[in-house]
Structure 1
Amino acid sequence: MRTLDYTSEELCAAPRLRIALVTETWTPEVNGVAMTLGRMVDGLIRRGHSVQLIRPRQVRGETAAHGDGLEEVLSHGLRLPRYDGLKLGLPARVRLLREWSRQRPDLVHVATEGPLGWTAVTAANKLRIPVTSDFHTNFDHYSSHYGIGWLRQPVAAYLRRFHNRTAATYVPTAALAARLAAEGYRRVEVISRGVDTALYSSTRRSEALRRSWGVSPEGVAVVSVGRLAPEKNLGLALRAFAAIRRLRPDARMIVVGDGPQRAALERSCPDAVFAGMRHGEDLAAHYASADLFLFPSLTETFGNVTLEAMASGVCAVAYDYAAAAEVIRDFGNGASVACGDEEGFIARAVQLAGADALRAELAQAARRSAEAIDWERVNDSFTAALLRVWRAGSGEAAALGEPQPGEA
């Protein structure tokens, strides 16, 4: 495990690569993986590399995009049950072998671990093309939230085997890298995440939007942003808001996002504003118009929403986990609570809801912290990482085709 370093001279002098990037999610799908990949693909293209994007067709009749350094190859996929808007890419080994034999990429990067991703790793190894991977989602941790906890160990074993067939696995935090290394993952490297501080900014705060929520200028708008699903632990956010409301009757809860738990959450908190899915400047205004951001998830690999809230000048309360563990200093630029301490999470949320001056001070510090988390540096790191694997040559890729003896 190592955190990547790089030099600007290395990137400027590097050859321009043809990179095949395989993913089961892409814009306009709304999730952290799709957003992150969009940023990273843009970064590769702006640095002179060309990207062949291989992904499932999102809607019937969709045609592949071409131009400006990007070429799309659309594959077949199936809708994921209980995960609206996302597809599972179907196996495509024969097609990828044919495609990459006809026009060979310099490197294959696999961002998701479904059947499409597995067959992409297999095809790349067979053709002796260097292949790398991302670990974006704790799928094994999700199983207990969907009534299939008995699958956690088999899923974890599959993920470990998947990533150990690649030359490097990129993760967003040092804590996740250490955990995966302890679980038997090899060649784990850290590439963090960035935030768009021009889009997410306190300048987008809207009193008109706050009034539409029923929040007075002196009131407290408490916001949660993300998929409304069991693994996000949103019940805790609503319990924290109920405790806030006892102290601050002028508080209002705003839930941004959609998902399978929406109806149940609406029943449990009928006074909350359920704003649904928001995008772009509209989403940025929803962040910036809030006063307190609650993020109780314990299943993230990163949690881009934490950085987005901080960049928006909003005080965040989160567990000391994933992005929050990397960027939040407790009572320095937000509030960080020990993982799993639900009473502590609620108490900290109530404390900050009732301390307007402290909350404003932490919000300003959060913005300053976010300004130092730049996508350009992240994209330099990602580009340098791929170049290093490419320079290592195809021999390593071929040797990674099968698990080592004794590997799960």
Structure 2
Amino acid sequence: MTDIKRPDRHRRHITIVSETFPPEINGVANTLRYLCQGLMSRGHHVTVIRPRQSRESLKPAPNNHSPLFEHELVVCGLPIPNYTEFRFGITRPKTLVTLWQNHRPSCVYIATQGPLGLAAVGAAKQLDIPVLSGFHTNFHSYSRYYRLGAFERLLSAYGRWFHNRTQRTLAPTRRTIATAQGMGIGNTALWSRGVDCERFSPKKRSNSLRQQWGLQENDRAVLYVGRLAPEKNLSLAVVCFERIRKLYPTARFILVGDGPMKAHLEKRHPEFIFCGMQKGDDLAEHYASGDLFLFPSKTDTFGNVVLEAMASGLGVIAFNDAAASEHIRHNENGMKAPLHNDDNFVQHALKLADQPSLLRRVRSKARLDALDLSWNQQIDVFERLAFNSYIQVSSHADNKQSFPVL
């Protein structure tokens, strides 16, 4: 990676293209929420292009007062197999070419690599608009969890082709950059994630919520937050909790989220507490009311929930991958196991559960370290990356240096 000049702060027009966007609840949508808010707060003009979401009205809603963007284009959406709550976006490149000829963006950021992202890359290249892509999701590695393992190489080849058509691919960790480069994706750059430490805070701990969970003051609440899906390695989380419960029979396993495994888990483990989707202050309260946080996933490119758990003052147990590889220091502010050592993961969780003084120290340090992980810093990085691309393209096309906005 090369050093990038810091851009000036003139108002720019950034278009964000994504198959998922708030109010949908997932890591990509969460990241885009903070990105849009950060760019808008700096005076930049933000346009969002996304598919119509599940159960969304066909009647376009006014967005003049949206805190996330100034204008949006909502395109046709089709359900994603096994992810029916999310949608593919469908539009013709010609539609985007016409839009961008009239209201040319300074830069296009493509967060997802579905049909909508593909159309956006084609339109941007046709108009010589700088385009960045985000390596948010390991879709090629997800295939093995949905009996589509035969397509893993094909999906990997598609990802390599797609990202190499963009000027730069932004990845959230150094390990993810190495993964992308190993796939043959060139010209990568690090763009990480932040956390809102005002929202996610130990101060949100709720004794009444813990009582609803059946917990006394010193009982252990073991928390999982995320999609209840095969690629999240939830079977390991279940094994881990059952080992903890042998030591502490009063411990409770709290699962926050929804997904295709929920019905199966509820049937097999009626003693678990399923809280469903939570958001905003309710989500923050659930985090802060826990004690240990299990993050067993081996497929996430980052895992925003790790930073949210740290900010909430939880004892995080994760693999040495994604966010944990960057932000967890073993035995100091959390515990992390080698990626392919499930037994080690379980042993680390047992150690934290069984040593109250260590757990208190880890939780306190996690909160302190999270305070340094602001979204403001990450918006700085995004600006430098996006507008360096704009400067490079516009320097070769002087007649495109002054762009109208919507």
Q: Which digits, 9 at most, give the CA deviation of each residue in 1:29-50, with x for residues without a partner?
A: 0000001011001111111110
SS at structure 2 position matched to 1:393: helix
Per the alignment, residue 66 of structure 1 pairs with 64
SS at structure 1 position matched to 2:84: coil
Pick the aligned partner of 2:20 from 12, 25, 28.
25
User: Structure 2 CA distance, aligned partners of 1:257 and 1:162?
Assistant: 31
Q: Which digits, 9 at most, give the CA deviation of each residue in 1:329-388, with x for residues without a partner?
A: 010101010102111111111111111111011000000110010100001110111110
Per the alignment, residue 367 of structure 2 pairs with 367
Per the alignment, residue 233 of structure 2 pairs with 233
Give the conservation status (yes or no) of the 8 Å contact 1:311–1:367.
Answer: yes
TM-score by length of 1: 0.93
Give yes or no for the alignment of 1:313 onto 2:313.
yes
Alignment-mate amino acid for residue 371 of structure 1: L
Alignment-mate amino acid for residue 179 of structure 1: T
Per the alignment, residue 50 of structure 2 pairs with 55
User: Structure 2 CA distance, aligned partners of 1:118 and 1:395?
Assistant: 26
Q: Give the stretch that moved more between structures: 193-202 or 42-51.
A: 42-51
Pick the aligned partner of 1:38 from 24, 30, 33.
33
Q: CA deviation at 1:62?
A: 4.2
User: Structure 2 CA distance, aligned partners of 1:117 and 1:396?
Assistant: 25
SS at structure 1 position matched to 2:198: coil
SS at structure 2 position matched to 1:84: strand
Q: Structure 2 stretches of 5 or more lacking a match?
A: 398-406
* RMSD after superposition: 1.5
Q: How many residues align?
A: 392
User: Structure 2 CA distance, aligned partners of 1:5 and 1:291?
Assistant: 41
From the superposition, tell whether residues 92 and 237 of structure 1 become closer, same or farther in structure 2 (CA, over 3 Å): same
User: Structure 2 CA distance, aligned partners of 1:110 and 1:306?
Assistant: 24
Give yes or no for the alignment of 1:170 onto 2:170.
yes
User: Structure 1 CA distance, aligned partners of 2:225 and 2:4?
Assistant: 32
User: Structure 2 CA distance, aligned partners of 1:366 and 1:269?
Assistant: 30
Q: Give the stretch that moved more between structures: 236-245 or 86-95.
A: 86-95
Give the conservation status (yes or no) of the 8 Å contact 2:156–2:183.
Answer: no
Q: Which digits, 9 at most, give the CA deviation of each residue in 1:91-147, with x for residues without a partner?
A: 331211111112211221111100010010001101111111111000000000000
Q: Which digits, 9 at most, give the CA deviation of each residue in 1:146-182, with x for residues without a partner?
A: 0000000000010111010011110100111122123
- In the TM superposition, structure 1's runs of 4+ consecutive aligned residues that sit over 3 Å from their partners are 66-69, 394-397
Q: Which digits, 9 at most, give the CA deviation of each residue in 1:60-100, with x for residues without a partner?
A: 32415235761111111101122132111113312111111
Q: Which digits, 9 at most, give the CA deviation of each residue in 1:159-212, with x for residues without a partner?
A: 111010011110100111122123211110001100000000000001110010
Give the conservation status (yes or no) of the 8 Å contact 1:138–1:301.
Answer: yes
Give the conservation status (yes or no) of the 8 Å contact 1:195–1:375.
Answer: yes
Give the conservation status (yes or no) of the 8 Å contact 1:318–1:345.
Answer: yes
Superposed, which structure 2 residues align to 1:163-202 within 5 Å? 163-202=163-202
Per the alignment, residue 352 of structure 2 pairs with 352
TM-score by length of 2: 0.94
Give yes or no for the alignment of 1:271 onto 2:254.
no
Q: CA deviation at 1:269?
A: 2.0
Q: Structure 1 stretches of 5 or more lacking a match?
A: 398-408
Give the conservation status (yes or no) of the 8 Å contact 2:232–2:298.
Answer: yes
Per the alignment, residue 220 of structure 1 pairs with 220
Superposed, which structure 2 residues align to 1:322-341 within 5 Å? 322-341=322-341
User: Structure 2 CA distance, aligned partners of 1:374 and 1:189?
Assistant: 19
Give the conservation status (yes or no) of the 8 Å contact 1:128–1:395.
Answer: no
Give the conservation status (yes or no) of the 8 Å contact 1:235–1:265.
Answer: no
Per the alignment, residue 403 of structure 2 pairs with none
From the superposition, tell whether residues 183 and 396 of structure 1 become closer, same or farther in structure 2 (CA, over 3 Å): farther
User: Structure 2 CA distance, aligned partners of 1:124 and 1:73?
Assistant: 16
Superposed, which structure 2 residues align to 1:100-179 within 5 Å? 100-179=100-179
Q: CA deviation at 1:14?
A: 3.5
Alignment-mate amino acid for residue 64 of structure 2: H
Give the conservation status (yes or no) of the 8 Å contact 2:201–2:284.
Answer: yes
Give the conservation status (yes or no) of the 8 Å contact 2:111–2:136.
Answer: yes
User: Structure 1 CA distance, aligned partners of 2:117 and 2:376?
Assistant: 27
User: Structure 2 CA distance, aligned partners of 1:344 and 1:217?
Assistant: 28
Give the conservation status (yes or no) of the 8 Å contact 2:21–2:29.
Answer: yes
User: Structure 2 CA distance, aligned partners of 1:242 and 1:14?
Assistant: 53
Give the conservation status (yes or no) of the 8 Å contact 1:80–1:87.
Answer: yes
SS at structure 2 position matched to 1:136: coil
Give the conservation status (yes or no) of the 8 Å contact 1:5–1:381.
Answer: no
Give the conservation status (yes or no) of the 8 Å contact 2:319–2:338.
Answer: yes
Give the conservation status (yes or no) of the 8 Å contact 1:16–1:49.
Answer: yes
From the superposition, tell whether residues 308 and 131 of structure 1 become closer, same or farther in structure 2 (CA, over 3 Å): same
User: Structure 1 CA distance, aligned partners of 2:379 and 2:301?
Assistant: 18
User: Structure 2 CA distance, aligned partners of 1:212 and 1:93?
Assistant: 52
User: Structure 2 CA distance, aligned partners of 1:295 and 1:100?
Assistant: 41
Give the conservation status (yes or no) of the 8 Å contact 1:78–1:89.
Answer: yes
